[in-house]
Amino acid sequence: MASKNTTKDIITLRGSSAIVSEFFGYAANSILYNRGVYPEESFVKVKKYGLPMLLTEDENVKSFITNLTAQLSEWLEAGKLQRIVLVIMSKSTGEVLERWNFSIETDKEAVEKGVSREKSDKEIMREIQAIMRQIASSITYLPCLDEQCVFDVLAYTDNDVEVPFTWIESDPKLIANPQMVKLHAFDTKIHKVDTLVSYKNDEWDEE
């Protein structure tokens, strides 16, 4: 009953961008940890979204993710970001093994007219929490990554976006005939983020 009485929080474009880019930072850390791209001991536990989350302590990775989220929030505020993809590839062959796909729908009115929306922070946090739980549990169905892997981040932006200094145009790094699992979505009323993981088909399953 009490929750019904809580007032809804005002969400601005800037605030929403901050929520989404922060979410991506934590999600990327969680994926790198859970998929074993970096060793377990290079992560520390922190509390976020009401869950114990893991953050990398590797200085290079840390600065990479910090620069990344800064750029993402810039694009999000301009409403130019359509999708973010975290790609996990084999280190030796460069073959793409997993694609963590975060599709973003931006409220055009909020970008063009600066309209703000209402949604409680608690509700957004609950939605993000569900996604984080799903990422953590994804190891139960995703194929084992036996080899050493590296990661890459792709951003699908509008065509008129100027390419920043540390970014280059790239191919989409697709997986041929992938398996797909749709995860939960979250919505700040300004940005709607749909999560989907596609991964390389395990040949043994088809036999």
Partner 1 sequence: MQSEAQVKFQKEANLRKNAESSEALAKDKAISLEEKFNHLSGSIERERKHLNNELSQFKKESKLSVSRIKADLERMECRAYSAENESELLKQQSEDLRVQLDECRRQKNEAERKILCFSSSSNDVNSSEALILVKHLQEELRNFESEVQEARMLKSSHESNELMQVKLLEEKGRRERVESELLKLQEVQLSVEKLEDELMTWRSMINEIPGVSCSDDIRRKFAALQAEVIQNMMKNGEVTAQLKEIEVVLEATELGKQYAESEAKLAKEKAEQSMSEVKRLELLLSSVNEEKDRLRKDANAGKTQRNVEPEAEKKSDTFIQELEDALAKKECSITELESQLCEYKEVISRQHGEIKLLTERLSNEARRLKSLERESDQLRSEISLLESKLGHGDFSAASTKVLRMVNTLAVDNEAKQTIETLRTELQKTKEKLQAVQELKVQSADAGNLIDSNISEKLAQLKAQIATLEKREERYKTVFAEKISVFRRACCSLFGYKIVMDDRQRSDGIPVTRFILQSLYAQTDDEKLEFEYESGNTNILGNDYASQPEISRQVEIFIRKMNSIPAFTANLTMESFNRRTLS
Q: Is 155 in the site for partner 1 (CB under 8 A)?
A: yes
CB of residue 17 to partner 1, shortest distance in Å:
17
Helix axes 59-78, 13-34, angle to 10 degrees: 150
Verify binding: residue 178, partner 1, rule CB under 8 A: yes
Binds partner 1 (CB under 8 A): choice among 45, 168, 203, 207: 168
Rounded Cα gap, residues 100 and 84, in angstroms:
8
Q: Is 175 in the site for partner 1 (CB under 8 A)?
A: yes
Shortest distance in whole angstroms from residue 170 CB to partner 1: 3
118 belongs to the binding site for partner 1 (CB under 8 A): no
Draw the binding track, 44-83, toward partner 1 (x: CB under 8 A; -: no contact).
----------------xx--x--xx--x----------xx
Q: Please give the Cα distance from 113 to 144 (Å, whole number).
A: 47
Token reading at 42: 């290079």
Torsion angle, alpha carbons of 137, 143, 148, 152, to 10: -70
- Nearest CA to 182 out of 102, 86, 98 is that of 102
CB 8, min distance to partner 1, A: 26
For 157, residues 6+ apart whose C-beta sits below 8 A from its C-beta are 75, 80, 81, 82
Chain residues binding partner 1 by CB under 8 A are 60-61, 64, 67-68, 71, 82-83, 85, 91, 99, 101, 150-159, 161, 163, 165-178, 180, 182, 196, 198
